[in-house]
Amino acid sequence: MKLAVVVQRYGLDINGGAELHARYVAEQLARRAEVDVLTTCARDYITWRNELPAGESEVNGVRVRRFPVRRERVPERFGRRSHHVFGSVHSIADELAWLASEGPASTALIDCIRRNEAGYAFFIFFSFRYYHAYHGIRAAASRALLVPTAERDGAVGLSIFGPIFRGARALMYNSFEERAMIQAVSGNDAAPHVVVGVGSEVPASTNPDRFRRKYGITTPFVVYVGRIDENKGCKELFSHFERYARAVRGDLSLVLMGNTILPIPDHPRIRHLGFVADEDKFDGIAASEALVMPSYFESLSMVALEAWALGKPVLANGRCDVLQGQCLRSNAGLFYESYEEFLETLALIQSNRRLASAMGRNGRDYFQRHYAWPVVVRKYLDMFDRLRADDERGAGRVPIEPLPGWFARRRAECRAGDIVVRELPSGPSRRAERRR
Amino acid sequence: MPPEFSVRSDSVDVEQIMQQIRARIREKRGVDYTEEELRQLAAVKLEKFLDPTRVRSDLVQHYQKARQPGGASTLEPPPENYAFDDHLVYGSARGASGRLITSLRRLLNPVLKLFINPNPIIQVLHRQSAINAYNREQFDRIADLNYEVMHNLVLELTRLSLEVKNLKMRVESVSGRLDFSDRRARALESVVQYKPGSGPAAELAAAPTQAPAGGQGARREAETAAPGAPIKGEAQRARRRRRRHGRGGAPGQQVPGSGAGGGAAGAAREAADGGAAAPGAGGGAGDSLPFDGAEPGRAEAPSPGTPGLTDQ
């Protein structure tokens, strides 16, 4: 079986959530099938500048085919169009223009998919919101599996994506909340789907003492791992933690790992380590009291799964449905929606060792049951088998809805994406994975 | 108070824990008051304890009244927001013929666009409508927030005023007790200066008929013990006698240490009585002085001027 993983960027040094997800899946599936990665030459997701050479290469034993991006993103134009399609009534043509300006606009990649459609059993597209996924699925809908990695933002509410969600052969969701959101917005309940998520390359053993020695950290701490960005809720985290440090005596610190685009407060109990190697990351999580995940929008927090895999509880932002749902289903994390809740939950994790270790055990168990690689890979393979069985029976192939005509595309009838999303049902899902 | 979190190793229920945490937060915030209780606290207590010239206890009611249509607010009610979209430009309200007109207009739109492009105007007006709705929503939200903040402020002010009042009363009580203790200490100091069989008390004991217990000598000691304390003459002496009688049993019964057989101890008692009975120490203070074997320091008296307001 020959598979193609199609993703906007790919490489060992590319740590975006969806990109890392795609790499992990490609590497795992490569052990069971022939896998090609089809991607662009871009490394930077802001400009999509062609920085990597076009053509074939190999990354961790997986063949990678890179295609140049035809034009870089113009942030001003993209911002203006985003404002328009997310904020006001607009047309399909406006949305297509928005998609083109978002990029990465690689027509060569789409042409390759179209030309080689028959050469691959399935194409696994990552991130519905980008150019390559939209046009790629339209080019090879009958063999397209979509891993949407959808967050609760205006893009989900755009009209052009409805046919994509309904027309892909199968959807591999990251969480029950993501599935509920996409099904509500597109009505694609009939499309084959599974909530699968992603595993993680968590080491079998960690060395917390080594981490403490290396960074000179002697006090207990909670850790944040990821890009330090206001959009990730870090500003609110800093504010909450500073208030917490004033309110609660003790020496609990906040340790931050990751590149920052946000000024970090000069506080004796906040420590920024910058971008760290995977070994340090895992050792740091293992040395911590808990992982803090302050993000408002996540389709799946891989770092939260990693913390659970290492037996650490998670303190998550409860305004993110996905994180809250995972905490509830796993019984392995607490969540906050206000400073008072942050104070109480963090103080509880810090003071109640039995609770923290019980949640850690639950987290490890949850990870093993749902996100260990054998489980994840099995779900992919089962889906391939199911689709092939459907093909053999001549069932299951629903042609993708064509784009409307020239005039219809220009009719300003599409509602603002933000408003559409705001009206979607929200809240965590408590079913399915909940332990009995 | 919600129960503490008791955790068995494998029975963590995050949902329950979060419910308990939220209950605890609600308890801390004190938002579990009913609306009626809040109103009662915010109005009644203010009337009782706050200075009415400075704080209006019906602040909340005034605020609500001002926000009602036709209330005291000087703002005109806002005009109704409109929903603007392309139907408003191309549409028609003439029933079946209106639909035809709408279709015709849409069909001819490309021709119109040769002269003027209405789409940006439609988008701008639609956006303005959305902005208006947003502003209105924000205004309402902030007004609600103001109301809540004001409500809570009035409530907190009431609580604080009650606390201040209580603290004032306690300060007065403690101040009275301190004053009393001070006087008692000075009286005790004066007592230990005497040795049995010497000094003015012994002289007084030797001449009981000339100077009854609590006479001039004792009075001088009392004056020494409580400088500035006026001697009230016969009335005070009569009161002391009454006290001694009360302590010793029936009137006429001799109290140990008093009278001729009282000696130095009796004189000392007088001295102490005189000191303790000085104004400012309370009328009954001398009854509990520790000369009858009671343990020093246990004597307590109501504070001056605040009868029944101590925290005892």
Which is more confidently placed, B54 or B150?
B150
Domain spans of chain A, in order of start: 2-199+373-422, 208-370
d(CA B65, CA B203): 83
pLDDT of residue A64: 96
Residue listed under structure tokens 């005509």: A405
Nearest residue, CB atoms, B7 vs list A88, A89, A355: A355
CA distance B77 to chain A (A): 27
In this complex, do A358 and B9 lie within 8 Å of one another by their Cβ atoms? Answer: yes
Examine the domain organization and report whether B144 and B235 are in the same domain.
no
Asked whether residue B308 carries a pLDDT value surpassing 80, the answer given is no
Chain B residues touching A340 at Cβ < 8 A: 25, 28-29
pLDDT band with cut points at 50, 70 and 90 for residue B64: low
d(CA A363, CA A326): 10
pLDDT of residue A7: 96
CA distance A365 to chain B (A): 11
Over residues B114-125, mean pLDDT: 85
Which is more confidently placed, A162 or B232?
A162
Examine the domain organization and report whether B166 and B200 are in the same domain.
no
Examine the domain organization and report whether B75 and B199 are in the same domain.
no
In this complex, do A89 and B85 lie within 8 Å of one another by their Cβ atoms? Answer: yes
DSSP strand pairing (A333-336 vs A270-272): unpaired
Which is more confidently placed, B118 or A360?
A360
Asked whether residue B272 carries a pLDDT value surpassing 80, the answer given is no
d(CA B30, CA B26): 6
**DSSP state letter for A50:** B
The CA–CA distances, whole Å, from A425 to A105, A182, A190, A211, A420 equal: 32, 10, 19, 43, 10
Asked whether residue B297 carries a pLDDT value surpassing 70, the answer given is no
In this complex, do B14 and A334 lie within 8 Å of one another by their Cβ atoms? Answer: yes
DSSP string covering A171-214, please? Answer: EEES-HHHHHHHHHHH--TTS-EEE--------S---HHHHHHH
Examine the domain organization and report whether B270 and B236 are in the same domain.
yes
Amino acid at B104: L
Asked whether residue B239 carries a pLDDT value surpassing 70, the answer given is no
Domain that holds residue B222: 193-281
The phi-psi region of residue B252 (left if phi > 0; otherwise alpha if psi is between -120 and 50; otherwise beta) is: left
CATH architecture of A208-370: 3-Layer(aba) Sandwich (3.40)
Asked whether residue B219 carries a pLDDT value surpassing 90, the answer given is no
Nearest residue, CB atoms, B7 vs list A89, A334, A358: A358
Nearest residue, CB atoms, A331 vs list B5, B13, B25: B13
Q: What is the ipTM of this complex?
A: 0.80
Q: Is residue B143 part of a domain?
A: yes
The CA–CA distances, whole Å, from B71 to B56, B135, B136, B137 equal: 18, 22, 19, 20
Examine the domain organization and report whether B150 and B205 are in the same domain.
no
Domain count of the fold of chain B: 2
**DSSP state letter for A400:** P
CA distance A30 to chain B (A): 37
pLDDT band with cut points at 50, 70 and 90 for residue B207: very low
pLDDT tens-digit series, residues B17-63: 999 888 888 777 655 555 555 566 666 544 444 454 455 556 666 66
d(CA B18, CA B13): 9
pLDDT of residue B79: 73
Per-residue model confidence as pLDDT tens for chain A (436 residues): 899 999 999 998 887 788 989 999 999 999 999 999 999 999 988 899 999 999 999 999 999 999 999 999 998 899 999 999 999 899 999 999 999 999 899 999 999 999 988 899 999 999 999 999 999 999 999 999 999 999 888 999 999 999 999 999 999 999 888 999 999 999 999 899 999 988 888 898 999 999 999 999 999 999 999 889 888 899 999 999 999 998 888 889 999 998 888 899 999 999 999 988 889 999 999 999 999 999 988 878 889 999 999 999 999 999 998 899 999 999 999 999 989 899 999 999 998 888 999 999 999 999 999 989 999 999 999 999 999 998 888 776 778 899 999 989 998 889 999 999 988 888 887 655 443 3
Q: Is residue B241 part of a domain?
A: yes
Name the token pair of B15.
Answer: 């949902």
Name the token pair of A139.
Answer: 């080019």
Over residues B240-264, mean pLDDT: 46
Chain B residues touching A355 at Cβ < 8 A: 5, 7, 12, 17
Residue of B nearest to A344 (CA): B21
d(CA B298, CA B292): 13
Q: Is residue B11 part of a domain?
A: no
pLDDT of residue B73: 53
CA distance A84 to chain B (A): 8
d(CA B1, CA B33): 15
pLDDT band with cut points at 50, 70 and 90 for residue B301: very low
Interface test mutation site (partner B, options A81, A89, A319, max chain B beta carbons within 10 A):
A89
CA distance B130 to chain A (A): 8
Listed in sequence order, the residues at least 6 apart from A201 whose beta carbon sits closer than 8 Å to its beta carbon are A24, A278
pLDDT of residue B295: 37
Give the number of other Cβ atoms within 10 Å of residue A309's Cβ.
22
Compute CA A238 distance to the chain's CA centroid, rounded to the nearest angstrom: 23
Asked whether residue B69 carries a pLDDT value surpassing 90, the answer given is no
Nearest residue, CB atoms, A344 vs list B7, B21, B86: B21
Nearest to A103 by CA among A88, A123, A82, A89: A82
Over residues B287-295, mean pLDDT: 36
Nearest residue, CB atoms, B17 vs list A330, A334, A430: A334
Name the token pair of A25.
Answer: 């899946």
Alpha helices of A216-312 — where are they, by DSSP H?
234-247, 278-287, 302-309
pLDDT of residue B211: 41
In this complex, do A335 and B5 lie within 8 Å of one another by their Cβ atoms? Answer: no
Examine the domain organization and report whether B234 and B126 are in the same domain.
no
Helix orientation angle between A321-330 and A353-370, rounded to the nearest 10 degrees: 100
H or E stretch including B103?
Answer: helix B95-107
Examine the domain organization and report whether B63 and B128 are in the same domain.
yes
Examine the domain organization and report whether B120 and B156 are in the same domain.
yes
Chain B residues touching A84 at Cβ < 8 A: 123
Nearest residue, CB atoms, B127 vs list A88, A333, A344: A88
List, in sequence order, every residue forming a beta bridge with B114; answer none if it has no partner: none
pLDDT of residue A428: 83
Examine the domain organization and report whether B206 and B239 are in the same domain.
yes
User: Over the Cα atoms of chain A, what is R_g?
Assistant: 22
pLDDT tens-digit series, residues A223-240: 999 889 888 899 999 999
Topology of A2-199+373-422 in CATH?
A: Rossmann fold (3.40.50)
Amino acid at A299: S
Q: What is the pTM of this model?
A: 0.60
Nearest to B277 by CA among B296, B257, B301: B301
d(CA A323, CA B54): 50
Nearest to B13 by CA among A354, A433, A331: A331
Chain B residues touching A359 at Cβ < 8 A: 12, 14
Which is more confidently placed, B233 or B301?
B233
